[in-house]
């Protein structure tokens, strides 16, 4: 079997850097995304994604593409702290997230609209530019993703405890606020790392969908992260492969980040359909046995 079709695109340095970037993000999303799913923090993650946008814009305006991640990092940490504290001070968490989401995203659009290449800059910030990731940006992504994994890894047992038994966590003498703040900061770091490659809007799918697919495929906790990592990595590889051949063979210019997310959603749809069919078959078999 000829594997040239599948491997040749990654002989180009820019494609190899893109693949490494996606694999790094896949590893981090499998770890951090697990607790997003277990605690139903998808909406908070959405708020963090949008709150990072002004930092991306300010970094881009001040220092170009090399300053994207530092600007987003500052905005992400601030937003993580605000969302964690405000949601615990008598204000509905959904309301707090909605305010941060709308306000920060609008602020980012206002700032970027002052530039001369408003449309192209906005498109790059929203939908990413994984094929133009430089070596220095790749190292930034690796370091930030590793730090996000480290924060979760160091508090892994406590994060699991809090995810399954919040009351028991408090009763055991643990403080909820530090654990929540650490997790939200990890989410923010991963959003920052992923925004450069997949863009501010598409990174949310990479954080949420792989673990959601894993939850449909297994009930074993220990397998959720490995499955999510493999799903995210395969989706990234296929998305880059499809976008490359679409460009070279057919003259199309699809956004690689968008194609990756489409592949993710397609895998989710197939797995969900299979899951529903299996459940229905199981119900029918149980009814026959009872009858």
Report yes or no: 83 and 48 within 8 Å, Cβ to Cβ: yes
Query: CA 7 → CA 4, 240, 241, distances in Å?
Result: 5, 11, 9
- Number of neighbouring beta carbons within 10 Å of residue 93: 16
Buried b (16+ CB within 10 A) or exposed e, 143-179: ebbbbbbebbeebeebbebbbeeeeebeeeeeeeeeb
Q: What's this model's pTM, rounded to 2 decimal places?
A: 0.84
User: 């998305």: which residue's tokens?
Assistant: 239
- Cα angle 233, 238, 239; round to 5: 95
Q: Catalogue all structural domains in the chain, each as residue range(s) with its CATH number.
A: 4-290 (1.10.3470.10)
Question: What is the chain's pLDDT, residue by residue, as a tens digit (291 residues)?
Answer: 567 778 888 989 999 999 999 999 999 988 998 998 888 877 777 777 777 777 777 776 666 666 667 777 777 777 777 777 766 654 445 666 666 666 766 766 676 666 555 555 556 666 677 888 888 888 888 998 998 899 898 889 888 998 888 888 888 888 888 888 888 888 888 887 887 777 766 788 888 999 999 999 998 988 999 999 999 999 999 999 999 988 888 888 888 888 898 999 999 999 999 988 888 877 676 667 765
Report yes or no: 127 and 258 within 8 Å, Cβ to Cβ: yes
Non-local (6+) Cβ contacts of 230 within 8 A are: none
Rg of the chain, C-alpha, whole Å:
20
Non-local (6+) Cβ contacts of 161 within 8 A are: 168, 169, 172, 174
* Lookup: tokens for 13: 């340095």
The pLDDT score that the predictor gives to residue 113 is: 67
The pLDDT score that the predictor gives to residue 122 is: 59
* Angle between helix 93-112 and helix 42-63 axes, rounded to 10 deg: 20
Q: pLDDT digits over 230-250, tens only? A: 999 999 999 999 999 888 888
Query: CA 113 → CA 47, 65, 205, 243, 281, distances in Å?
Result: 21, 17, 26, 29, 54
């Amino acid at each position: 079997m000829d594997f040239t079709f599948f491997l040749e695109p990654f002989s180009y340095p820019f494609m190899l850097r893109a693949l490494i970037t996606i694999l790094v993000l896949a590893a981090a999303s499998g770890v951090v995304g697990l607790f997003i799913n277990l605690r139903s923090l998808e909406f908070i993650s959405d708020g963090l994604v949008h709150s990072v946008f002004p930092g991306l814009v300010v970094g881009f305006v001040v220092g170009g593409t090399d300053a994207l991640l530092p600007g987003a990092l500052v905005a992400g940490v601030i937003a993580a702290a605000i969302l964690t504290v405000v949601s615990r001070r008598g204000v509905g968490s959904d309301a707090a997230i909605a305010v941060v989401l709308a306000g920060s995203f609008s602020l980012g659009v206002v700032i970027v609209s002052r530039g001369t290449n408003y449309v192209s800059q906005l498109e790059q910030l929203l939908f990413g530019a994984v094929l133009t990731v430089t070596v220095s940006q790749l190292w930034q992504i690796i370091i930030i993703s590793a730090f996000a994994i480290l924060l979760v890894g160091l508090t892994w047992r406590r994060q699991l405890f809090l995810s399954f038994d919040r009351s028991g966590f408090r009763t055991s003498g643990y403080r909820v606020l530090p654990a929540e703040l650490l997790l939200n900061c990890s989410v923010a770091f991963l959003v920052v790392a992923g925004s450069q490659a997949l863009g501010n809007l598409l990174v949310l799918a990479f954080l949420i969908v792989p673990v959601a697919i894993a939850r449909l495929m297994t009930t074993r906790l220990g397998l959720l992260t490995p499955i999510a990592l493999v799903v995210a990595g395969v989706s990234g590889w296929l998305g880059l492969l499809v976008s490359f051949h679409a460009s070279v063979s057919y003259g199309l210019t699809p956004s690689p980040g968008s194609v990756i997310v489409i592949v993710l959603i397609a895998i989710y749809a197939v797995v969900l359909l299979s899951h529903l069919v299996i459940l229905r078959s199981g119900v029918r078999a149980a009814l026959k046995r009872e009858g």
